Amino acid sequence: MALDEKSMVDGFFGEFGGRYVPEPLIPVMDELKDAFYKYKDDPDFKKELAYYNKEYIGRANPLYFAEKLSQKYAAKIYLKREDLNHTGAHKINNTIGQALLAKRMGKNRIIAETGAGQHGVATATACALMDMECIIYMGEIDTKRQALNVFRMELLGATVIPVKTGGRTLKDAVDEALKDLIENYNDTFYMLGSAVGPDPYPTIVREFQSIIGKEAREQILEKEGRLPDYLVACVGGGSNAIGLFHPFVNDKEVEIIGVEPGGKGNKPGENAASLNFGNKGIIHGFKCFLLEDDNGEISSTYSIAAGLDYPGVGPEHSYLKDSGRAKYALAYDEDALAAFHELSETEGIIPALESSHAIAYGLKLASELNEDKIIIINLSGRGDKDVQQIAELEK
């Protein structure tokens, strides 16, 4: 891939991030970046975004005190209820913001990638709302394990294209979406779903997802009169996590913990834990920690949660790890499944499998703490989409 040195001046988080893209995409990224910085602080844009956040998505969503879990594990456990958003996950925060940006750029053909399908559903939802054409790329394996979300996307008017190349999961869906953008950039807006990709995408996604942490910060100060001791969120690409973490990064008394998918084990191909097992490298136009095989090629990955099944991770997470500001732990499939059941049975909340990784680690952490400690766990999505998959697994 051609590297444009001029574009590398900013868009970095330490040494991570940047813009390593084919030459035809350089002006596309410049146009997007200019539009983003033009509109993100524009009063009319902010007013319209605030309207949809409140009246359409349903924000602010609760910071729920999980009383029964707190009694069981001693520490105070709060859940940031992104599962209560319209469409059932945090993804809608980003797609509404990007759709409003695309509208101002005069682009009405929207493409996106999706893994678990929640970003695809949120993209299709925003496109239906704003009368935009919507094409979703989804790995063929993911279309089967998330068939309900495929139906939702089609119901909302989107065209879902199963990707049959490579591992047929999220990485391959991103590859196909980028190819589409290169061929159709004049009238097409790529609505990237996680805090990954070339500059300015990680910053754009963080901007729209930071509402999670901003609300949580206000809510915990109101409820407890102080900041939490710990923040916990699952990390695949990392958008829900960076949305929670970013508003707290300068609060050194708050420990930040991302939870990666340990999958079936620690060997290559058994997990998708880039920050725990990866090396520094370039994927999809940006530098991050990523999983490679012995030949230096992108490694195959695995996670029970389709939305975490990605061989790289957001550049800001890579920087937070490298700088020591955040810790990145593991939760294995069996941990996530146990947490899925425990939250369902104890609090009456069925979490997404992705979120279940954060729940698993959060409960383990709580069991090691005193009752005066406070943990906020980001409940990034609801588990409706996963119930059939788990039912099949547990037959």
Q: Which of 194, 318, 356, 380 is catalytic?
A: 380
> Does the active-site annotation cover 103?
no
pLDDT band per the 50, 70, 90 thresholds, residue 44: very high
How far apart CA 80 and CA 223 sit, in angstroms, is 13
Q: Which residue bears the tokens 């810790």?
A: 327
pLDDT band per the 50, 70, 90 thresholds, residue 59: very high
DSSP string, 93-133: HHHHHHHHHHHHHT--EEEEEESSSHHHHHHHHHHHHHT-E
The CATH architecture of the domain made up of 13-52+91-200 is: 3-Layer(aba) Sandwich (3.40)
Q: For 371-395, what is each residue's pLDDT tens digit?
A: 999 999 999 999 999 999 999 999 8
- Contact, 143 vs 150, CB < 8 A? yes
Q: For 144-203, what is each residue's pLDDT tens digit?
A: 888 889 999 999 999 999 999 998 988 899 999 999 999 999 999 999 999 999 999 999
Mean pLDDT to the nearest integer, 338-360: 98
Q: Where in the chain is the domain with CATH 3.40.50.1100?
A: 13-52+91-200, 58-88+210-394
Q: Which of 33, 82, 113, 355 is catalytic?
A: 113
Question: 18-47: b or e for each residue (b if 16 or more CB lie within 10 Å)?
Answer: bbbbbeebbebbbebbebbeebbeeeebee
- Contact, 379 vs 351, CB < 8 A? yes
Instruction: Say what the pLDDT of residue 7 is.
Output: 36
> Does the active-site annotation cover 91?
yes
As given in the structure block, the two tokens for residue 71 are: 């009694």
Residues 6+ apart with CB under 8 A from 284: 171, 174, 175, 178, 196, 197, 198, 312
Instruction: Say what the pLDDT of residue 224 is.
Output: 98
Q: Give the three-state DSSP class for 233.
A: strand
Name the percent of the chain lying above pLDDT 70.
98
CA-closest candidate to residue 301, choices 237, 388, 361, 389: 237
Q: Which of 91, 107, 287, 385 is catalytic?
A: 91
How far apart CA 94 and CA 248 sit, in angstroms, is 19
Q: Which fold has domain 58-88+210-394?
A: Rossmann fold (3.40.50)
How many CB atoms neighbour CB 142 within 10 A?
26
Record the pTM.
0.95
Specify the pairing of strand 230-234 against strand 374-379.
Answer: parallel
